């Protein structure tokens, strides 16, 4: 699948959101490849929508919602519209893939439910309830109330607000990214620059998960709009991250070398002082 991360932070009095994604694209549930186009869809001048799972479905939902929005919507309004459109897309797919093949639509199915073979009706009902669109959405943005993060999963509504935690992730690398942010002790009150590093590091750590690509895209969302990190900025982060990992490993190796597990007791017993 993929990984998409978002975290809240502070830059002085300003609330910001930092996001990162890979570029791994999934199609039809079994084809995966690194794509040249970032998977961040501009939902508004101060909000980005990201998707994990089937790239065709996820990007279409995000882009159609972005085109339908007018004025300056709040992050909540964008999230609610994404959830509604997700649900409508799922409903349409259920009707097309499960009912239309049998010459039915929702009205015909529920209108004639009692006249159907009971086993067929039960089977179709279970398939509809369990139908999974195979897409997750992550939205990060800033409005007049500050920075916010929302996620949308199957079946759509309601949208999930992650502000109290301060970060969220979707995709096959989500658990690795979340664990990394937990390890950093991150909260939404963390400072801006350290949050940029934490999000980058967490994306890199999530690359051990199946389906997570090695390419990285990042953006910072603030009151002034969206800043997508340049190749030079990402390269600087890469060097900082690699130095961090190297120094941490070197310090650990040095401390372990000085750790005499059980040796003190053995020496004492050998000398007869025990």
Percent of the chain scored above 70 by pLDDT? 93
Please list the helix, strand and coil fractions of the chain in percent, rounded to the nearest 5, in that order: 45, 25, 30
CB 65 within 8 A of CB 30: no
For residues 252-265, give the mean pLDDT: 81
Per-residue pLDDT at 41: 94
Work out the average pLDDT over 241-265: 86
pLDDT range class, residue 67, cuts 50, 70, 90 = very high
Averaged pLDDT score across all residues of the chain: 90
Task: Decide if pLDDT at 267 tops 90.
Answer: no
Q: Does the pLDDT at position 19 exceed 90? A: yes
Cβ–Cβ under 8 Å, residues 91 and 97: no
The total of other beta-carbon atoms located within 10 Å of residue 268's CB is: 11
- Among the ranges given (21-25, 63-67, 77-81, 179-183), the one the predictor scored with the smallest mean pLDDT: 21-25
Does position 274 have pLDDT exceeding 60, yes or no?
no
Does 51 score more than 60 pLDDT? yes
| Those residues with Cβ within 8 angstroms of residue 259's Cβ, 6 or more apart along the chain or in another chain | none
Q: Give the CA distances from residue 229 to residues 35, 174, 221, in Å, rounded to whole numbers and listed in that order.
A: 18, 21, 11
Could you tell me which residues are beta bridge partners of residue 227? Answer: 220
Indicate whether 14 pLDDT > 80: yes
Structure confidence at residue 211 (pLDDT): 87
Residue 271 has pLDDT above 70, yes or no: no
Mean pLDDT in residue range 160-189? 97
Fold of 4-228: 3.60.20
Per-residue pLDDT, 105? 82
More confident residue, 102 or 19: 19
Give me the pLDDT at residue 158, please.
Answer: 93
Q: What is the DSSP letter of 115?
A: G
DSSP 45: T
At 93 the pLDDT is: 92
């Amino acid at each position: 699948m993929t990984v998409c991360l978002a975290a809240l932070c502070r830059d002085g009095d300003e609330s910001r959101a930092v996001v990162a994604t890979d570029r791994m694209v999934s199609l039809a549930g079994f084809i995966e490849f690194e794509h040249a186009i970032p998977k961040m869809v501009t939902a508004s001048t101060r909000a980005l929508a990201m998707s994990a799972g089937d790239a065709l479905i996820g990007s279409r939902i995000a882009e159609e919602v972005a085109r339908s929005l007018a004025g300056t919507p709040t992050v909540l309004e964008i999230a609610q519209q994404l959830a509604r459109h997700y649900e409508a897309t799922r409903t349409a797919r259920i009707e097309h893939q499960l009912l239309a093949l049998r010459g039915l639509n929702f009205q015909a199915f529920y209108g004639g439910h009692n006249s159907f073979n009971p086993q067929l009706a039960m089977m179709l009902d279970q398939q509809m309830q369990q139908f999974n669109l195979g897409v997750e959405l992550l939205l990060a943005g800033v409005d007049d109330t500050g920075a916010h993060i929302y996620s949308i999963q199957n079946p759509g509504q309601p949208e999930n607000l992650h502000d109290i935690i301060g970060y969220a992730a979707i995709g096959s690398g989500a658990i690795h990214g979340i664990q990394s942010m937990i390890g950093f002790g991150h909260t939404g009150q963390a400072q801006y620059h350290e949050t940029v590093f934490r999000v980058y590091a967490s994306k890199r750590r999530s690359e051990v998960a199946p389906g997570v690509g090695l390419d990285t895209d990042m953006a910072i969302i603030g009151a002034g709009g969206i800043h997508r990190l340049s190749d030079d900025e990402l390269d600087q982060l890469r060097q900082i991250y690699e130095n961090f990992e190297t120094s941490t490993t070197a310090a650990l190796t040095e401390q372990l070398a000085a750790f005499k597990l059980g040796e003190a007791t053995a020496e004492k017993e050998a000398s007869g002082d025990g």
